[in-house]
Amino acid sequence: MKQIGKISGKGLALFLIVAAFWWPVSATAVEDADVAVLLTEVVEAGVDDGDQQIAFWWSQADEPQWTVSDDVVFAALRNAGVEPVVPESVDISRIYRRPGLSTENAAQLGRLLDADRVLVGEVQYTVLGPVAPLGYTGVEARAVVELVPAGDSEGVSLERFTVTRKVFGDSAAELLDEARQVAGTALGEVMGQSMRRAGGEVGSRNGDSLLALRNVERAENLEKVRERLLSIDDVERVVERWASEGLIALDIKTTGGDSGVVEYAFRVLENHEFEGFDLMLNERPTVDGVTEFWLTPRQTGF
């Protein structure tokens, strides 16, 4: 069997990992904290010589039904230093005993499992091929998983992970285990490494030094904000810390960690006249512990 993606003379491997980071709320992300993994496995018709199969470990009220995908992801998480919650038995309400949980329901189920955080999503296996010119059959594994704080009533995503793997060979049924291994390992690694890097408090990583800019559509406008901040005495560095849809967060590093300088920097931005746009303080920020500004393009006359 060959694990490939681009067809070439030698049949080279192709893989794609996309980790898109969302940080819409403030939460504590502690290294090695317990994380519940609620992964729905979907094997589409034709992959395993049969009809569509859907499996998820919380389908039974008192006995977890672990999938092969679960086992592989758990091993990769542990290898990255993150310990998944592995209950021997749990009394799960019928409300939650279904596949494809919403982030809200996943957050509540995570609280019942005494987890700090929850990874919830789906890994889907589909048939590809036959692929010319070699005539191989392929199986694609695509996983989309979100990280949410356990118990959060809104189930707002802290982070989103997308992993895609393609394997090719003579038989889709024979390729399924390989697809589970390569996709589950990649998913566990990228999630585990990201959670280990996110030590400290997410959303207010360095006290109140995070500045969130909303509606930044032009890179040059972001650079103008960064340059103005760097022109302030005792501002040492301005680092892009994270980004979500419509929101970019900058971490203001000051000499000696002086919070007074950061507060002054916020006032400077609020009162500075930028060329081509205005910054307006958001009185109702969407991220706890972060000072948020709206960026509004300035209308020009004719």
Domain ranges for the chain: 15-202, 210-297
Q: What b/e readout covers 215-235, taking b as 16+ CB neighbours within 10 angstroms? A: ebeeeebbebbbebbeebeeb
How many Å separate Cα 110 from the centre of its chain?
17
pTM above 0.85, yes or no: no
Domain 210-297: give its CATH architecture.
Answer: 2-Layer Sandwich (3.30)
Enclosing H/E stretch for 183: helix 172-197
Per-residue pLDDT for 53 more than 90?
Answer: yes
Per-residue tokens: 118: 């929850």
Question: pLDDT (tens digit, 9 = 90+) per residue, 218-266?
Answer: 878 888 998 999 999 889 888 777 666 567 888 888 887 677 888 899 9
Note the pLDDT tens digit of each residue in 126-173.
998 776 667 788 899 999 999 888 887 778 788 888 888 988 888 888
Strand order in the sheet with 15-20: 15-20, 159-169, 136-149, 117-131, 35-43, 53-55
Q: Distances in Å between the alpha carbon of 171 and those of 19, 182, 258, 297? A: 30, 17, 62, 55
- What CA–CA distances, in Å, run from 294 to 28, 131, 210, 211? 26, 49, 14, 11
pLDDT over 50 (residue 10): no
Cβ(117)–Cβ(150) below 8 Å: yes
Question: pLDDT class for 208, splitting at 50, 70, 90?
Answer: low
pLDDT at residue number 244: 62
Name every residue whose Cβ is closer than 8 Å to that of residue 135 and which is 6 or more positions away in sequence: 129
Give tens-digit pLDDT for 60-69: 877 899 999 9
- Which of these ranges, 71-75, 82-86, 142-146, 153-157, has the smallest mean pLDDT? 153-157
Q: Predicted confidence band at 30 (pLDDT cuts at 50, 70, 90)?
A: very low
Say what the pLDDT of residue 121 is.
95
| pLDDT at residue 57 is higher than 90 | yes
Query: Residue 32 — pLDDT band, cuts 50, 70, 90?
Result: very low
Rg, C-alpha atoms of the chain: 23
CATH architecture of 15-202: 2-Layer Sandwich (3.30)
* 107 HSE (CA, 13 A, CB side): 16
